[in-house]
Amino acid sequence: MSRRYKIGDLEVVCISDGTLRSSLDYVMGLDRDTARRISDAPDDDVLTIPVNNFVFEREGARLLIDGGSGTKMQATLGRLPAGLSAAGYPPESITHVLLTHLHPDHADGLIDEDMNAVFPNAMLLVHEAEFAFWMGEPRQGESDHVKRRGARNQADVKPYRDRIRLMRDGESFLGCSPLLAPGHTPGHICWRIETGGPDLMAWGDVVHFAAIQFPLPETAVKYDLDPDLARDTRLRLLDLIAREGLVVAGVHVSAPGIGTVVREGAGYRFVPMQSASH
């Protein structure tokens, strides 16, 4: 199912790639009882995380935020290509994929099971720091997890190698500017998108567990390569978004993930936006 939102003069369509099975085991620095209460977790402490993607059109281009999870990660994921087609945006019609970073639920959907491009006519836009971190030779002392992820990332982008644009912090493309938001990965970014109204801040993994990390934004998670830096980034961005009245498009924010952020006590609260249509 897709939902459409009007932000300024921009129409943004949210399309679900499915849900990611996770657990309170990934929450750091918060006692389990508090985490259970805030997240309303079931007895087994299993949580499900939405995976949202966003598509919009501008100046003849059709742009997609992140590439989806593909079919290998979890059975509840990999819905993006079908969802795009059902909404009238078949994968072959996408002209640009704006990547927030290169983790499996954001980039493994770039290729199919035969390792071919799912978006055969698309250019990939990725921050130069993210590309450099994953595409180089493994560094001394690097974890096996990072090495495996780097190998998969190289496979994910291989069919696009002649259609990759490396972006720098603050550079603009069709009114879309990458804002470096490191910690989750070294080159993780938000895309700040001009709309003719309040800017849209499309983020990847600033927040993983929305029910916990909005009210308690200092709470870290094990998904982050540098949890302390990710925490600092989250606090900085939430302050910026609330202060400037920006609209958020969050990949892991309660589906469909479009809304605003307001201060509430020492933390924040996400306020979903009313969709224009379903």
pLDDT, residue 278, reads 47
| Class of residue 116 by CB neighbours under 10 A (exposed 0-12, middle 13-18, buried 19+) | exposed
Min mean pLDDT across 53-62, 121-130, 135-144, 196-205 is at 135-144
Tell me: pLDDT of 116 over 50: yes
Q: What's the pLDDT tens digit per position in 161-175?
A: 999 999 998 899 999
Mean pLDDT confidence for 120-130: 97
Predicted TM-score of the model (pTM): 0.94
Please tell me the distance from the alpha carbon of residue 122 to that of residue 235, in angstroms, as a whole number: 33
Q: What's the pLDDT tens digit per position in 48-59?
A: 999 999 999 999
Q: What's the pLDDT tens digit per position in 174-223?
A: 999 999 999 999 999 999 999 999 999 999 999 999 999 999 999 999 99
Tell me: pLDDT of 97 over 60: yes
If we measure between CA atoms, which residue out of 145, 225, 138 comes closest to residue 186?
225
What would the two tokens of residue 164 be? Answer: 């990759």
The answer to whether residues 119 and 58 touch, using CB atoms and an 8 Å cutoff, is no
Tell me: pLDDT of 138 over 80: no
Cβ contacts of residue 102 below 8 Å, gap of 6+? Answer: 126, 130, 131, 134, 149, 153, 156, 157, 185
What would the two tokens of residue 100 be? Answer: 């927030």
Average pLDDT value over all residues in the chain: 93
Q: What's the pLDDT tens digit per position in 251-269?
A: 999 878 999 999 999 999 9
